[in-house]
Amino acid sequence: MNVLTKEVFEDARVDEATIDRLEQRFEQSLMRQLGTRYHFGGRGYTGIDCSSVMMKAIREALQIKVRDLRWMTADQIGRGRRNLTVEMPDPEPANRCALGFFDWDEDGIYEHMAARLIDGSWVWASSTVGQVVHVDEAARGRWQRQWREIEGALYGPTSTLRLINWHGWHN
């Protein structure tokens, strides 16, 4: 099997099959993190916050170490720091995961982020619930409040969707 390394991505000629594998790895990593305790600013054993959940999943998808892709805040990721994310094209691709970024207090800084999976469900570190959650159609009843928060905020003027730039992120 082709080992996906930093050099492959700097080449910027990543084919669709490779992107599909990366997206699958990203989703699998997110699903392994379900139930992990939420801790604002957390990056490890004591808990994890929204940006750390996503950074861990991206690193695991790329099979790289923290030193190769250091931690970033939701705001930095949402603004495309290190070329890690790119604007969502129009029309939105149906077969890609997306990252949603939310500016809850409308101060121009994204305070929160979540991942929309290919099937339309969402994964995020919820401070309200106190853990990493997965919300899909089947779980809407259980997580109704969280679903409304994400869905409501997503279409607000201070939120955005972006794609992970599997083609050309850089250190």
CATH of range 6-164; options 2.40.10.170, 3.90.1720.10, 3.40.50.150, 3.50.50.60: 3.90.1720.10
For residue range 107-118, list pLDDT tens digits in order. 999 999 999 999
Tens digits of residue pLDDT in 102-158 = 888 889 999 999 999 999 889 999 888 899 999 887 776 776 766 666 666 666 678
CA distance 82 to 55: 13
Task: Answer for the pair 159, 103: CB distance below 8 angstroms, yes or no.
Answer: yes
The pTM for the full model equals: 0.84
Nearest of 4, 57, 49, 55 to residue 32 by alpha carbon: 57
